[in-house]
Chains A and B, each alone.
Chain A
Amino acid sequence: MRAKYVLYEAATGLWRNVTMTVAMIITMAVSLAMLGASGLLFLQVDKVKELYYAQVEVTIFLAEDVSDEDREALDRALDSDPLVSHYYYESQEEAYEKARELFSDAPDLVEALRPESLPESFRVQLTDPEQFREISVTYIGWDGVSEIVDQERLVGDIFSILNAVQVMALVIAAVMAAAALLLVANVIQVAAYSKRREVSVMKMVGASNWFVQLPFVLEAVVAGVIGALLAFAALAAGKYFIIDGPLAPLSMLLTPVPWRNVLLTLPALAAVGGLVSAVTGWVTLRFYLKP
């Protein structure tokens, strides 16, 4: 019977104050959608990083006048270096072959190439790709080394764009979340005010605090969960119509967003939406309905 009372009160509360409820649900939905999107982006950026790092290799170019001793010394050092997972030597001829392949549709360029004009190099893959700097520092001063190049720099630009987008989504989500919190607090206060007579009688006759507060908190939680459902629908639609639609070619570059991650946002957003509403509601009422 008490459960029925609480549920009934929560439902009529939501209905009585329907414009505010709708505003609360929409704000909740937008902020949760932003949160979900930045969460997905976060997972995505991590995965892209992994993918790129796996391919990153450090190239140690050798000087034109490198001596055999220098080359062998370098070879031995790389062989015993714990930072190096594996490496191979690329001679001038091999470099020339590669370049011919790479520029095969520009015969003029290939024509101008001579094996002697290309440097020989060691191609090094690292055990931990993020430590390429240590490799550079270690080997740059060695005799016979002319230059050390890594592809991190190429990848870096993409990452800084992704990071910026990620931060932006998080900031928007935070601002929207603040708006949602204020709205929840306001809706609860309006609800409590519109039922002030009932509340004062309940307190007068000794209804327990949770019994007085639960309908209001439940009202906010229901709105929060509905907001989460809408946010999930928006994310799923975004995945289906945008990521897998016009943006599909990008997934070659940025790895596709898996449905598994999108589905994962449903329980996460519902939990965040429900919990945030519950806590906000409860805190608001503690100030609003003093004993």
Chain B
Amino acid sequence: MIRLEHVTKTYPKASRPSLDNVDVSIDKGDFVFFIGPSGSGKSTIIKLLLREVTPTRGRVVVNNRDVGTMRSWKIPNFRRSIGCVFQDFRLLPNRTAYENVAFALEVIGKSRGVARRVVPEVLELVGLGGKEHRYPHELSGGEQQRVAVARAFVNRPLTLLADEPTGNLDPDTSIEIMRLLDRINRTGTTVVMVTHDSNIVNQMRRRVIEIESGRVVRDQPRGVYG
């Protein structure tokens, strides 16, 4: 469950709000695309949901927690219920695919034994079986993004946030990553994805929320790009 209630976000020193009175509700298990022109405020929504920034006005509720007023010491635990994928993969270059995923488990206190059991499983799931011990520079862009998806999913989050996950990939590879996110969504995980990719949006026919200048201008259940 994700709810944005009359959310306005004005960054410090900004002259106009990046988000202006946005009202959105996303049910558990939904799959939602956020689309819109550059600078319209899509990434700002992701940052609000992750509590990287707080709303200037309004309420942001994620997994039944009011993120805007959350005390800072509660943030780490909150983030464990969320997986993130970004356009630039954000892998650690000096760690293998396996180690990158295991790192995400170990730093939240899971034992090495758990990692040994779970990481190969999830790498298999994203289609990287056999490439566990490759370093990021030994993997293609698509494969690197699979590692990132595996890392986001390994902790079985309730929600997966993806900010232009296919932004750096060619169309075929993009479709493969989309299939992956779709599969993850079918396990019950809520997926929120920001994208510029009209092909993907048109092919998937999922809920589309279009943002322009910080306002919601369209919210369509089985939408197309535009």
Chain A residues in the interface with B (C-beta under 8 A): 1-2, 5, 197-198, 200-209, 211-212, 291
Residue of B nearest to A197 (CB): B92
Q: Is the CB of B92 within 8 A of A5?
A: no
Residue of A nearest to B82 (CB): A206
Cα separation A278 to B77 with both chains bound (whole Å):
25
B14 at the interface (CB under 8 A from A): no
Q: Is the CB of B73 within 8 A of A205?
A: no
Q: Is the CB of A200 within 8 A of B76?
A: no
From B76, B78, B90, B104, contact of A209 by CB (8 A):
B76
Cα separation A211 to B77 with both chains bound (whole Å):
12
Q: Point out which of A200, A211, A212 has the most chain B C-beta atoms below 10 A from its C-beta.
A: A211
Q: Point out which of A5, A198, A201, A206 has the most chain B C-beta atoms below 10 A from its C-beta.
A: A206
Shortest C-beta distance, A170 to chain B (Å), equals 38
Cα separation A197 to B76 with both chains bound (whole Å):
17
From A205, A212, A291, contact of B155 by CB (8 A):
A205
Quick one: given A1-B111, A291-B72, A291-B75, are A205 and B80 in contact (CB under 8 Å)?
yes
Q: Is the CB of A202 within 8 A of B90?
A: no
Q: Is the CB of B90 within 8 A of A206?
A: no
Cα separation A211 to B79 with both chains bound (whole Å):
15
Quick one: given A1-B112, A2-B109, A209-B73, are A204 and B92 in contact (CB under 8 Å)?
no
Q: Which residues of A contact B93 (CB under 8 A)?
A: 197
Q: Which residues of B contact A5 (CB under 8 A)?
A: 106-107
From A205, A209, A291, contact of B108 by CB (8 A):
A205
Residue of B nearest to A4 (CB): B112
- CB within 8 Å of A: which of B62-112? 72-73, 75-80, 82, 84, 90, 92-93, 103-104, 106-109, 111-112
Shortest C-beta distance, A289 to chain B (Å), equals 11
Cα separation A34 to B84 with both chains bound (whole Å):
51
Cα separation A204 to B85 with both chains bound (whole Å):
10
Q: Is the CB of B72 within 8 A of A211?
A: no
Q: Which residues of A contact B73 (CB under 8 A)?
A: 209
Shortest C-beta distance, B54 to chain A (Å), equals 11
Quick one: given A1-B106, A2-B109, are A201 and B76 in contact (CB under 8 Å)?
no
Cα separation A291 to B155 with both chains bound (whole Å):
20
Q: Which residues of A contact B59 (CB under 8 A)?
A: none
B151 at the interface (CB under 8 A from A): yes
Q: Is the CB of B90 within 8 A of A205?
A: no
Categorize the interface residue count of chain B: 20 to 34
Q: Which residues of B contact A201 (CB under 8 A)?
A: 90, 92, 103-104, 107
Shortest C-beta distance, B135 to chain A (Å), equals 14
Quick one: given A1-B112, A197-B90, are A208 and B79 in contact (CB under 8 Å)?
no
- CB within 8 Å of A: which of B21-65? 50-51
Q: Which residues of B contact A291 (CB under 8 A)?
A: 51, 72, 75-76
Cα separation A73 to B82 with both chains bound (whole Å):
94
Shortest C-beta distance, B103 to chain A (Å), equals 7
Cα separation A291 to B51 with both chains bound (whole Å):
9
Cα separation A238 to B49 with both chains bound (whole Å):
61
Residue of A nearest to B79 (CB): A206
Quick one: given A198-B92, A291-B72, are A206 and B78 in contact (CB under 8 Å)?
yes
From B50, B51, B82, B107, contact of A207 by CB (8 A):
B107
Cα separation A2 to B112 with both chains bound (whole Å):
10
Q: Which residues of B contact A203 (CB under 8 A)?
A: 76, 79
Q: Is the CB of A206 within 8 A of B108?
A: yes
From A1, A2, A198, A208, contact of B76 by CB (8 A):
A208
Query: What are 25 A-B pairs at a CB distance below 8 A?
Result: A1-B106, A1-B111, A1-B112, A2-B109, A197-B90, A197-B93, A201-B90, A201-B92, A201-B103, A201-B104, A203-B79, A204-B84, A204-B90, A205-B107, A205-B151, A206-B75, A206-B78, A206-B79, A206-B82, A207-B76, A207-B107, A208-B77, A212-B107, A291-B51, A291-B76
Q: Which residues of B contact A2 (CB under 8 A)?
A: 106, 109
Shortest C-beta distance, A113 to chain B (Å), equals 85
Q: Which residues of B contact A200 (CB under 8 A)?
A: 90
Q: Which residues of A contact B155 (CB under 8 A)?
A: 205
Cα separation A211 to B109 with both chains bound (whole Å):
9
Residue of B nearest to A200 (CB): B90
Q: Is the CB of B109 within 8 A of A204?
A: no
Known: A5-B107, A291-B72. 15 other contacts (CB 8 A): A1-B112, A2-B109, A197-B90, A197-B92, A202-B107, A203-B79, A204-B50, A204-B90, A205-B80, A206-B75, A206-B82, A208-B109, A211-B109, A291-B51, A291-B75
Q: Point out which of B75, B76, B77, B108 has the most chain A C-beta atoms below 10 A from its C-beta.
A: B76
Q: Point out which of A198, A200, A202, A205 has the most chain B C-beta atoms below 10 A from its C-beta.
A: A205
